[in-house]
Amino acid sequence: VTESIENKWLTEGPKSQEFLDHLREFTGSKYAVLAPNGTLGLFLGLLALEIPPGSEIIIPNFTFFASASSAIFAGLTPIFIDVDEQTFNIDVNKIESAITSRTKAIVAQHTFGLPCNIDEIRKLADSRGLIVIEDATHALGGFKDNKPVGSLADVSFFSTDHTKTISTHLGGIAATNDHKLAEKIRKIQLQSPYLSDFNVRQILLTFM
């Protein structure tokens, strides 16, 4: 921290990039973008995915409220699914019956750091043409079948606030293996005016 201050870096700089490089190597994600917190990491991912407003997104009913509020901010409708009483992760057996023609995505949350059955969720999502979003806010450092969490979905997000595995006091990360998606996330995070390939209207409507 002292070194960053002495070098007059008040925003993202070499230390931020070094942190992201370590995270990408550790999780196996090809791309990672910083966010102010995990909530906004999810929000960045949802905007970049360009899910049509009014679409439904399946979310476990035992979660931090930001999972739902981020979806609402992005113009989506959260659909809550019961969790397994033993793991507190989403009950995979109850997902399919909640899928409708408006469903576009499923949030696979690793509650309290315990990896969920994301392989089963991905299999179901792939069969129905749905996006999988990995909520790894509690699970940095976790593994599922010898694969690090945070690289097992279309887009993943982490939190590094004061209650998480690694703390930067406040902070979050959006991660993906999709280059184009990562570029969109980065452009939105930078509030870039050069969003010719992105639905700017969707962003503006979010804040109206």
Q: Greatest CA separation found in the chain?
A: 56
Please tell me the distance from the alpha carbon of residue 127 to that of residue 81, in angstroms, as a whole number.
19
Please tell me the distance from the alpha carbon of residue 142 to that of residue 137, in angstroms, as a whole number.
11
User: In 10 A of CB 133, how many CB atoms?
Assistant: 28
Please tell me the distance from the alpha carbon of residue 59 to that of residue 74, in angstroms, as a whole number.
14
Q: How many helices (H) and strands (E) does the chain have?
A: 7, 9
Q: What residues are annotated to the active site? A: 164
